[in-house]
């Protein structure tokens, strides 16, 4: 089980970041940075000038990473070697963070200390430092020149903000140091590494005395603590430094390793608090440790991302129309995000939740009800929201327990990792489209049909189906938790999809989308989604597996309302091509598509259906698939269904 970063993040790290965010102008700085920042420049520099360490290039260094990443619960980042005599390592990027080591570091440190340095850098990633630290590295380094002359937000970088930025960067190092201690299981290696950076060299004929190094750090701490002028001198010395004093870092690590919280994490006795439970109870004896304010990992992560989004969007708040009733739905969804995160980390559903499965069991009639021809259709049912919200809670419970009751008998879900997901970055999609479709195997024929089924119902008719999720760009599952009736919410209610959407992998996509009026070309492939309900929310006798690709359309009614129509057209068509390329690359032959963006996002179904027709037929993409079904759930006289039916009946 991976260490939860919220269990070891340093108090000074949290306090310094909160203080930084509270400075006037910081929200505008973040927003300005996100508008111009691109990781592509880093990728170009690294690929062209540094050595990428891999299984085939300096493998002994690469093999140090996977065990560390597993302990910290992160994906293995790219690792590069840079020619620089200065012993150093740093982490940068955001959606795809990477680590750079200098040649001076390898020359300076014994090989057994390199994993400690890598664990420290991975700790930054686990604590989600890399966005702000990358911003600080770029903006602070050019505060007096490039930031004012080139960067559009450079003028916002006030002196108080510079000081606060540097202070947070120093404090963040303590959290990353703690991650290294946890990965090593002891503070010894981290303390020794600090001594190397303080002046020790392995070529010296005598070993360093760590106890004496700790004494000098403690002496320094006492001097500064008890003398106001020494505090001022320290401030003047450290004001423009991004790293804390080396001896103090070693002392902090040694003290942290002795805490009950650290020992509890290493011994597996510390658990993350769930709602309504005591924090950090020991599995034996019920004792509490020092970390009494811990939250679930997913809840804390979601909270960080939501807070960053709110801060970055303050300057973008317009007039009264931003306070429309549409915002109330968004607010409700945001308020329910903690509940969603709770399930993804294994917390139980609230006790007061009514069990749909239990009710069906007591009636001994858990079968799909007959729908009368004169009954109210689902899309006009005024009680639908409350019903859907109740089903959503029951779905979370089923996902946690991995079983449900069907006609009085327990039915277990397949032994699969439902939280798994593969994230495709915008540059991946651009590369796929640029290569074209020539390399893919062509089929003898492709059947294209338009039906009134829901997406999962259509998928069940095919083997290894690939289902398109019409995603909310910034909220996983959209209004799933509050009972919204759209396509994505339905997919989440009827399957395990929400577990993948709330995973650490998916979080990068949602965080990035928050700063883009057209969202982004990030797409998440969830290859292990178990469907266990039908379109009406009834439990199935036999669950089945599908793959789901999550991608948002630009929201014409909100974020993209003021974007030029040509830009929206190109974005829609580009994402359709990327989606099809992902399906081809992964070997899917049966696609379930639909009226993407034609509901709450305000797209014209006649236009969207033409996007699909021209790409599939005129550009030849259909030749790579066996079956393509446009599942447009609803009545046959709906505008969405008739638009797609008419478009493809003429194809």
| Domain co-membership, 92 together with 197 | yes
Q: What is the pLDDT of residue 306?
A: 39
CA pair distance 253, 179, nearest whole angstrom: 10
Q: Is residue 457 part of a domain?
A: yes
| Domain co-membership, 243 together with 369 | no
Rounded to a whole number of angstroms, the distance between the first and last alpha carbons of the chain is: 53
Last residue of a domain, one of 214, 246, 267: 267
| Domain co-membership, 235 together with 372 | no
Q: What is the pLDDT of residue 311?
A: 38
Q: Is residue 332 part of a domain?
A: no
**3-state secondary structure (DSSP) of residue 599:** coil
User: Is residue 231 pLDDT above 80, yes or no?
Assistant: no
| Domain co-membership, 99 together with 200 | yes
When divided into structural domains, the chain yields a total of 2
Q: What is the dihedral of CA 609, 611, 613, 619, to 10 degrees?
A: -170
Q: What is the pLDDT of residue 236?
A: 58
| Domain co-membership, 233 together with 379 | no
Which of 86-95, 131-140, 537-546 shows the highest mean pLDDT?
537-546
Q: Is residue 444 part of a domain?
A: yes
| Domain co-membership, 45 together with 165 | yes
Between these two residues, 530 and 514, which has the higher pLDDT value?
A: 530
Q: Which domain holds residue 137?
A: 5-267
| Domain co-membership, 359 together with 242 | no
| Domain co-membership, 171 together with 81 | yes
Q: Is residue 532 part of a domain?
A: yes
Q: What is the DSSP string of 80-104?
A: EEE--SS--EEEE-SSS-EEEEEHH
Helix or strand run (H / E) with residue 472: none
pLDDT in tens, 168-210: 888 899 999 999 999 999 999 999 999 888 887 777 777 878 8
| Domain co-membership, 361 together with 259 | no
Any idea how long the chain is? 651
User: Is residue 432 pLDDT above 50, yes or no?
Assistant: yes
Which of 234-238, 482-486, 602-606 shows the highest mean pLDDT?
602-606
Q: Is residue 301 part of a domain?
A: no
CA pair distance 416, 494, nearest whole angstrom: 17
Partnered with residue 78 across adjacent β-strands are 98
Last residue of a domain, one of 237, 267, 297: 267
| Domain co-membership, 345 together with 213 | no
Cα–Cα distances (Å) from 63 to 66, 156, 296, in that order, read: 6, 43, 30
CA pair distance 240, 169, nearest whole angstrom: 10
Q: Is residue 276 part of a domain?
A: no
Residue 225: pLDDT band by 50, 70, 90 thresholds? low
The answer to whether the beta carbons of residues 432 and 581 sit under 8 Å apart is: yes
pTM: 0.48
pLDDT in tens, 617-629: 999 999 999 999 9
| Domain co-membership, 586 together with 445 | yes
User: Is residue 393 pLDDT above 90, yes or no?
Assistant: yes
Q: Is residue 279 part of a domain?
A: no
The CATH number given to whatever domain includes residue 472 is: 3.40.220.10
| Domain co-membership, 363 together with 477 | yes
Residue 279: pLDDT band by 50, 70, 90 thresholds? very low
Q: Is residue 504 part of a domain?
A: yes
Last residue of a domain, one of 245, 267, 289: 267
């Amino acid at each position: 089980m991976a260490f939860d970063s919220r269990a070891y993040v340093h108090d000074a790290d949290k306090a310094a970041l909160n203080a930084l965010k509270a400075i006037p102008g910081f929200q505008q700085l973040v927003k300005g940075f996100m508008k111009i920042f691109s990781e592509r420049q880093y990728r170009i520099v690294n690929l062209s000038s540094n050595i990428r360490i891999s299984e085939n290039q300096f493998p002994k260094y690469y093999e140090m990473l996977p065990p560390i990443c597993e302990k910290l619960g992160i994906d293995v980042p790219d690792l590069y070697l840079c020619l620089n005599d200065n012993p150093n390592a740093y982490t940068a990027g955001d959606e795809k963070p990477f680590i750079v080591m200098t040649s001076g570091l390898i020359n300076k440190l014994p090989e057994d200390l390199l994993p400690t340095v890598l664990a420290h850098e991975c700790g930054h990633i686990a604590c989600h430092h890399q966005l702000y630290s990358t911003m600080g590295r770029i903006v602070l380094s050019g505060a007096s020149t490039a930031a004012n002359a080139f960067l559009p937000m450079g003028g916002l970088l006030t002196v108080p903000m510079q000081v606060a930025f540097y202070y947070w960067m120093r404090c963040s190092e303590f959290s990353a140091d703690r991650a290294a201690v946890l990965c090593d299981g002891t503070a010894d290696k981290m303390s020794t590494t600090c001594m190397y950076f303080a002046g020790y060299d392995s070529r010296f004929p005598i070993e360093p005395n760590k106890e004496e190094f700790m004494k000098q750090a403690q002496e320094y701490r006492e001097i500064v603590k008890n003398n106001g002028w020494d505090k001022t001198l320290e401030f003047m010395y450290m004001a423009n430094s991004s790293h804390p004093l080396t001896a103090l870092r070693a002392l902090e690590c040694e003290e942290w390793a002795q805490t009950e919280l650290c020992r509890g994490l290493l011994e597996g006795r510390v658990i993350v608090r769930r709602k309504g439970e005591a924090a950090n109870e020991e599995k034996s004896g019920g004792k509490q440790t020092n970390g009494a304010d811990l939250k679930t990992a997913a809840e804390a992560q979601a909270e960080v991302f939501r807070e960053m989004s709110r801060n970055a969007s303050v300057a973008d708040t317009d007039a009264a129309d931003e306070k429309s009733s549409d915002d109330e739905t968004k607010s409700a969804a945001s308020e329910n995000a903690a509940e969603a995160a709770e399930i993804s980390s294994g917390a139980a559903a609230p006790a007061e939740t009514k069990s749909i499965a239990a009710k069906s069991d007591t009636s001994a009639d858990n079968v799909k009800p007959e729908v009368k021809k004169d009954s109210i259709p689902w899309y006009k049912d005024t009680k639908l929201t409350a019903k859907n919200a109740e089903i959503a809670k029951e779905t979370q419970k089923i996902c946690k327990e991995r079983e449900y009751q069907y006609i009085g008998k327990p039915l277990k879900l397949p032994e699969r990792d439902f939280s798994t997901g593969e994230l495709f970055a915008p540059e991946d999609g651009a590369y796929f489209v640029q290569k074209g479709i020539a390399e893919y195997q062509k089929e003898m024929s492709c059947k294209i049909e338009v039906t009134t089924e829901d997406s999962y119902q259509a998928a069940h008719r095919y083997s290894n189906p690939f289902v398109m999720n019409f995603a909310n760009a910034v909220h996983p599952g959209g209004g799933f938790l509050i009972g919204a009736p759209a396509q994505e919410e339905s997919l989440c209610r009827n399957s395990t999809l929400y577990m993948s959407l709330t995973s650490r992998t998916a979080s990068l996509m949602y965080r990035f989308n928050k700063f883009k009026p057209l969202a982004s070309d990030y797409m998440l492939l969830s290859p292990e989604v178990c469907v266990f309900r039908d379109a009406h929310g009834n439990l199935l006798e036999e669950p089945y597996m599908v793959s789901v690709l999550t991608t948002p359309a630009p929201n014409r009614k909100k974020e993209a309302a003021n974007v030029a129509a040509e830009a929206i057209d190109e974005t829609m068509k580009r994402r359709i091509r990327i989606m099809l390329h992902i399906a081809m690359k992964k070997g899917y032959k049966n696609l379930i598509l639909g009226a993407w963006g034609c509901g709450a996002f305000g797209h014209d179904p006649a236009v969207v259906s033409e996007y699909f027709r021209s790409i599939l037929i005129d550009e030849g993409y259909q030749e790579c698939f066996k079956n393509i079904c446009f599942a447009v759930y609803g009545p046959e006289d709906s505008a969405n269904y008739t638009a797609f039916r008419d478009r493809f009946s003429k194809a």
